[in-house]
Amino acid sequence: MNKVRGFEIAKGFEDKNINLPVRKTKYSAGYDVEAAEDCIIPAFKPGQKPTLVKTGLKAYCKEDEFYMLCNRSSNPGKKGLVLANSVGIIDCDYYNNEDNDGHFMYAYYNFFDHDVEIKKGDRIGQVIFMKYLTVDNDKAEGVRSGGFGSTEKGE
């Protein structure tokens, strides 16, 4: 099979019973992603870093594609959860990177006044695959050398 785009279990999660994301309906744009383990997202305090919720997953796509990590529409109202970066953009070269094998995670803030518990298997977000375009005279030649937040290292 020629791999075009899809999901795999990230290294270190092979024996954790991780479910690969699926679309729930025929016309869904997003693939529902579950938490890989239980975690607590604390009530927000100024200066606090977001909580990274592990998925145990990595994804691959074509060279002219990326995937977005999007919040579930019910998370802000029901759980007080908002993504720290609004939408996560993950480039195709994040897959199998040397730092974390391409394991993607959701960075959440909890705006409720109490901690929120996430259980393994809870749906925490969606992944949407997209194509991108480049501008005339684009000369990007950098190569990714790591995982989370490493794009600038390839300059």
Looking at the domain assignment, is residue 98 inside a domain? yes
CA dihedral sign, ordered 133, 136, 142, 143 = positive
Q: What is the pLDDT of residue 140?
A: 85
DSSP letter for 75, please: H
Looking at the domain assignment, is residue 144 inside a domain? no
Contact 20, 57 (CB under 8 A): yes
Looking at the domain assignment, is residue 41 inside a domain? yes
Distance CA 31, CA 25 (A): 10
Q: Is 40 helix (H, G, I), strand (E, B) or coil?
A: strand
Looking at the domain assignment, is residue 121 inside a domain? yes
Number of domains, the chain: 1
Share of the chain above pLDDT 70, in %: 92
- Amino acid identity of 25? T
Per the structure block, which two tokens stand in for 130? 């997209």
* Each residue's pLDDT tens digit, 57-115: 999 999 999 999 999 999 999 999 999 999 999 999 999 999 999 999 999 999 999 99
Looking at the domain assignment, is residue 150 inside a domain? no
Residue 119 has pLDDT above 90, yes or no: yes
Looking at the domain assignment, is residue 2 inside a domain? no
| Report field, pTM of the whole predicted structure over 0.85 | yes
Looking at the domain assignment, is residue 138 inside a domain? no
Q: List the CATH number of the domain containing 44.
A: 2.70.40.10
Range of the domain at 40: 9-14+26-133
Looking at the domain assignment, is residue 46 inside a domain? yes
- Kindly give, in sequence order, each residue whose CB lies less than 8 Å from that of residue 120, ignoring residues fewer than 6 positions away: 34, 35, 36, 37, 38
Share of the chain above pLDDT 90, in %: 88
